[in-house]
Amino acid sequence: MKMDHRLPARPILRMVGSLVVFAAALSVAGCKKPEAQAAPPPPLVGIIKSARMTVPILATPNGTTRALEEVVVRARVRGFLTERHFDEGSHVKKGQLLLVIDEQSYKIALLMSKAKLDEAEAVLKKAVSSKTREVAAAQLALDEAQLALSLIEERRSRALHSRSAGSAEDVDKAQADRKKFDAQVQADRAHLEQAGADYEVGILTAKAQVEAARASVRDAEISLGYCRMYATIDGRIGEAKVKVGNLVGPDATGGSYSDLATIHQLDPMGIEIRTSSRYLKRATQLINEGLAVRIFHSGFEGDDKHPYEGTCFFIDNAIDETTSTFLIKARVPNPEGTLLPGEYAKLQMVVDRIKDAVVVPEAAVMETEAGPVVYVVDHEGKVAIQRVKAAQSYEGMRILTQGLDAGVPVILQGLQLVRPGIPVKTEPAVLARPIEAGAADPSAPQAKAKTEAEAKPAH
C-alpha cells in the first residue's frame, strides 16, 4: 500500500497568498518618503538703538584728606599742669581757654621784674637831675678868677721890681702863683668836659637799664601768659596727651616742648592730590576756571559719596624731582565732620567733554581678538557683526568713536542665541537706566567714565 505525502491544496494556497501580501507591504513601505522637519522660529532678542549724547571726561585720581588748618598746643613754659577746660574730641572756638600751667612762680618773677624797672627808672631820674656839670663849671669860673688875680699880681710885682720898689722874690712868687692857677684852670676845663660827657653817658646808661628792665617785665608777662593756653582756630580738638598734674614744658636743654593736644579744622576739609607734571598746563587752566571735585571714601557697603562738591584752589610752586609730580589742593565743605584728616579718598573731576558721542550699553560691546564688536540687526531683520572702536564708559554706557552711527539697532539681550546672518525677532531691551539723547549731567556723582589719559595723572 502506498502512502501520499503531499499537503492539502488549500493550506498551501493560503500560505502563498500571505507571502505575496507581506512582500507587497514591504515594497510599499520601502518606496514611501520621510516627512520633512519644521524649521525653528527666529530667536527673540532685546535691542537698543545707539544714541548721541554729550559725555563728560572724568579724571579719577586718588587723594588724601588734610586739615587746612592744624594747631598743636604745646607747653612753652615749664610747670605742673593744673587745669583742663575742654572735653577730648569736642569742638572748640578761637580764643577758648584750654589748659593752665601753675602760674605762681611766674607771677613772682613778674613782680621782681617790675621792681627792677622801678629801680632803673629812679637811677635814670637821678642821672637826669645830676648837677655835676654845674659844679664843674663853677669851679672853672672860680679858678679863672684866681688866674686873673694872679696875673695882676705878677704884673704889679714886675713893675715894682723894675722901679726897685720890690724884690725879685716877689716877682718869682707872683709868677709861680699865676702858673699854678693857669694849670688849675686847664684842669677845671677838662673836668667840665668830662662832667658833660659823663652826664650824657650816665643818662644813656640809665635809659638802657630802664629798657632792659622793661624787657624783663615784658618777658615775665609773656612767660606768665604762656601758662594759659587758648585755641587759636575753630576746630575739633583731639585727646589730651598729658593729664592734669603732670610736669610739662621744655626739657632741661630748652629744646623740646611738650605736646598737649592738637586742633584740626574740619570744615572745610582739604584734599591733597599728586598729579603728573605733564598735566601742569591743563591743570592750571582748569583750576583757574574753578575745577570742581567729588569725593568718594570707603564705607561699610563700598565707596560712599560725600554729599558736598569741593573746589581745587592751589597748585604748588615746585615739581617733586623724585616722582615728577606736583601738588594740587582742594577744599570741600564738611559740616557734619564725616571727613577726617589722613583719609584715603577717590576723586572725580570733569576735565573735558565729548559732544555728540555715539553711545551703547556696555553689555552690548563684545571684546574679541580682532577688537571690540557689536551685533546689529540689519534692514532685513538679520544679525550682522559690526566692528567698532570703543572708548571709555560713562554711567553704564560705552562711547563708540568709530564704526557705528546713532539710531542703529544693537542687540543687548539674547546674544547667546544669535549668529551672523540669521533672522531674529526683536523687542525693546529693558535697561535699568535708559539712554537719554542730548547732554549728560557733567556733575553726576555716580559717573564712572575713565580714559587711559585721565587715569594716568593719579598717583
Higher pLDDT: 308 or 436? It is 308
Q: For residue 90, what pLDDT is reported?
A: 93
Q: Are 298 and 344 in contact (CB under 8 A)?
A: yes
Grid coordinates in use for 99? Answer: 589748659
Q: Which residues contact 145 (CB under 8 A, 6 or more apart)?
A: none
Predicted confidence (pLDDT) at residue 458 exceeds the cutoff of 60: no
According to the per-residue pLDDT averaged within each range, which of 178-192, 252-266, 309-323 is highest? Answer: 309-323
Q: Are residues 278 and 418 located together in one domain of the fold?
A: yes
Total number of domains in the chain: 3
What confidence tens digit (pLDDT) does each residue in 95-134 have? 999 999 999 999 999 999 999 999 999 988 888 887 777 7
Range of the domain at 177: 105-226
Predicted confidence (pLDDT) at residue 445 exceeds the cutoff of 60: no
Nearest CA to 59 out of 214, 402, 291 is that of 291
User: What is the model's pTM?
Assistant: 0.62
Residue 55 lies in a domain: no
User: Where would I find the beta strands (DSSP E) of 189-341?
Assistant: 228-230, 235-237, 247-248, 258-264, 269-276, 292-299, 302-305, 310-315, 325-332
Residue 384 lies in a domain: yes
Predicted confidence (pLDDT) at residue 389 exceeds the cutoff of 70: yes
Q: For residue 135, give the CATH number of its domain.
A: 1.10.287.620
What confidence tens digit (pLDDT) does each residue in 182-224 have? 888 888 788 878 877 778 888 898 899 999 999 999 999 999 9
Q: For residue 211, what pLDDT is reported?
A: 94
Higher pLDDT: 386 or 202? It is 386
Least confident of 166-180, 344-358, 364-378: 166-180
Q: For residue 391, what pLDDT is reported?
A: 86
Q: Are 231 and 95 in contact (CB under 8 A)?
A: yes
Instruction: Give me the chain's average pLDDT, please.
Output: 83
Q: Are residues 353 and 426 located together in one domain of the fold?
A: yes
Q: For residue 264, what pLDDT is reported?
A: 95
Q: Are 43 and 435 in contact (CB under 8 A)?
A: no
Q: Are residues 251 and 279 located together in one domain of the fold?
A: no
Q: For residue 432, give the CATH number of its domain.
A: 2.40.420.20
Residue 135 lies in a domain: yes
Least confident of 46-55, 165-174, 269-278: 165-174
